[in-house]
Amino acid sequence: MAIWRKAPDPAVAARIPPGQVLTEKFPVLHFGRTPEYPDLSRWDLRVFGEVETPFTLRWAELLALPSVEVTLDVHCVTRWSKLDTTWGGVSLSHLAEVAQLKPAARFVVFHSEYGFTSNVPLEVALDPQAMVAWNYDGKPLEPDHGYPLRAIVPGRYFWKSAKWLRGVEFSAEDRPGFWERNGYSNSADPWREERYADG
């Protein structure tokens, strides 16, 4: 992995949270094996919870929704940062609009393969750059990076951007996800170095 120990100029340095180093590569980090999807005709995504209109989308239906492209910096809790990553997919705010959130909705829980979950406050999930993404850098996601669909959550360590996404739940209560239950910070703000639950 190509890494610079120091940012090349002050403008770039200002985009790197404390304790992080830059990389040109895209490291692969996850727990468990990479799922395989030989046929997406049986794949679906559920949007449910504290909503007036829960729904389920097949792959073709998801792709037919209004798509967006965002470019943002990502920061991994393992201390690498990658700048100017470009993602394509559907904004989480659009899914929320279609689902018609109830007043009780205050959090989002992402549900992925193998029972993996991650959680964020609703205001984080409705950030204009937050999305469910099927493209990275103009190409379909690679299997190790979440193919066919992953969450993209700006402003949080990258484990919050759950890979292999199968459900978006709007919840009245905050429910810690897989990594949070295993000692990681619930808030996961890279600018405050909120890596672990004990600080």
Q: Which helix (H) or strand (E) holds 181?
A: helix 178-181
Say yes or no to pLDDT of 158 above 90.
yes
Q: Does residue 180 or residue 28 have the better pLDDT?
A: 180
Does residue 45 contact residue 168 with C-beta atoms inside 8 Å? yes
Calpha distance 74→2 (Å, rounded): 16
- pLDDT exceeds 60 at position 5: no
Residue 56 is predicted with a pLDDT of 98
Q: For residue 51, list its beta bridge partners.
A: 101
Name the helix (H) or strand (E) containing 61.
helix 59-63
Residue closest to 194 by CA, chosen among 185, 76, 78: 185
Block residue for tokens 């808030």: 187
State the pTM of this model.
0.91
Instruction: Determine contact, residues 195/185, Cβ cutoff 8 Å.
Output: yes
Please indicate whether residue 30 or residue 64 has the higher confidence score (pLDDT): 64
Determine how many CB atoms are found less than 10 A away from the CB of residue 52.
8
CA geometry: angle 67, 73, 75, nearest 5 deg = 120
Topology, domain 18-24+42-192 = Sulfite Oxidase; Chain A, domain 2 (3.90.420)
The band of 2, judged by pLDDT with boundaries at 50, 70 and 90, is very low
Give residue for tokens 């910096």.
73
Give the pair of three-digit tokens for residue 147. Answer: 């193919």
pLDDT digits (tens, 9 = 90+) for 89-112: 999 999 999 999 999 999 999 999
The confidence score (pLDDT) of residue 195 equals: 94
* Mean pLDDT value of segment 44-56: 98
Which bin fits 127, alpha (ψ -120 to 50), beta or left (φ > 0)? beta
Mean pLDDT over residues 156-175, rounded? 97
The Cα 137–Cα 121 span in angstroms is 27
